[in-house]
Amino acid sequence: MITVPVGLGDRAYDVVVGAGARRLLPDMLPPGVRQVAVVTQDGVEVDVDPGVEARTFVVPGGEAAKTLGTVERLCRDFAGFGLARSDAVVAVGGGVVSDVAGFAAAVFHRGIAYVNVATTLLAQVDAAIGGKTGVNLPEGKNLVGAFWQPTAVICDTEALRSLPAREWSSGRGEMAKYAFLGDGLLDDGRPGASLLGLSLDEQIATCVAIKAAVVSEDERESGRRMVLNYGHTLAHALEAAAFGPDAKWDLRHGEAVAIGLVFAAMLARRLGRVDDERVALHRRVVGAFDLPADLPTGASARELVDFMARDKKARHDLTFVLDGPRGVEPVHEVDEAAVLATLADMGCAP
């Protein structure tokens, strides 16, 4: 097992990575817990035993589960179960489950403990760590939520054995992001070589350690933590544009992030922050993780910019996380014309 600490003072917690890690769950619950509400989705075939009285609650599958209605239903279920403030929620699943269950834990009894048992690669390298929870509105992704840190995170790599190929792609998109955030992850002249050369447990633990360091420095995304959004502003716009029954394309989150990484590099080049070789490096890294680099057919530049402008990570201007001479950092007040031109360079329709 590999243990990665997330240093947040009296709210510090550990992330445990390794095969069979879920069996440590009873030891990772806070003292005094007598009941546990296990929140999961259909199709998550990972058994957990918290060692105390437990009841399982199933939320709908997919991004459509991330609604205020789902959170209300969970809170009512918790109340019906008799969950006390001294009890805990255990989220078993991917990023959707941790978002919804974490938000419900944050607001039920004004906040109760919860543990993430991450069962997808995306959740293990990113979504389950850091305390950001939230649900969607028709106006955009994750517009309602809370910062609510888990008391522990369990990344059991046994749970990944039956993961579908597209879910692997989703997690690898976040890994590609971390290749640009971590020191020495792009060495040896081969993009992502030192990350891709590690064992799976070590890959996950490396990504977790990078995120833990950033979260420890900036828990509530007031500064440094914004670098974790690298590639995400366009990614969320692509996801929002395809949200609902009339979706124009099918992209997993990590696939959208990969496209967003290439876009961010091209935008940085247009703004004079990086050169052509740095853009080419982004494309090579994305390719090394076997991820898409091109915008989906039918994407509209105007529509995407409109979604970017109201993304939860924006202020009252167009804000992007971009590469540059000082590395990856937030850049505010980006000219909309530059964004539109970059999208056009990627073959996007007006």
List the catalytic residues.
110, 132, 174, 211, 221, 225, 229, 232, 236, 253
DSSP letter at 102 equals H
Give, to the nearest 10 degrees, the angle between helix 200-217 and helix 165-181: 50
* DSSP element (H, E) containing 89: strand 88-93
Tabulate helix, strand, coil % of the chain (nearest 5): 45, 20, 35
Query: Please, what sign has the CA dihedral across residues 159, 165, 169, 172?
Result: positive
Distance between CA atoms of 32 and 202, rounded to whole angstroms?
Answer: 33
With CA atoms as reference, report the closest residue to 307 among 238, 249, 237, 231: 237
Q: Estimate the crossing angle of helix 253-270 against helix 336-345, to 10 degrees.
A: 110
Residue spans of alpha helices (H) in 140-243: 165-181, 193-196, 200-217, 232-241
Q: What is the Cα–Cα distance from 62 to 49, expressed in whole angstroms?
A: 25
Segments in the chain forming alpha helices (H): 25-28, 68-81, 95-107, 121-122, 165-181, 193-196, 200-217, 232-241, 253-270, 276-288, 301-309, 336-345
Query: Do residues 148 and 111 make contact, with C-beta atoms less than 8 angstroms apart?
Result: yes
How far apart are alpha carbons 137 and 60 in whole angstroms? Answer: 16
d(CA 301, CA 173): 22
Structural contact between residues 149 and 8, judged by C-beta atoms closer than 8 angstroms: yes
**CA–CA separation, 78 vs 322, rounded Å?**
42
- The rounded distance, in Å, linking the Cα atoms of 168 and 172 is 6
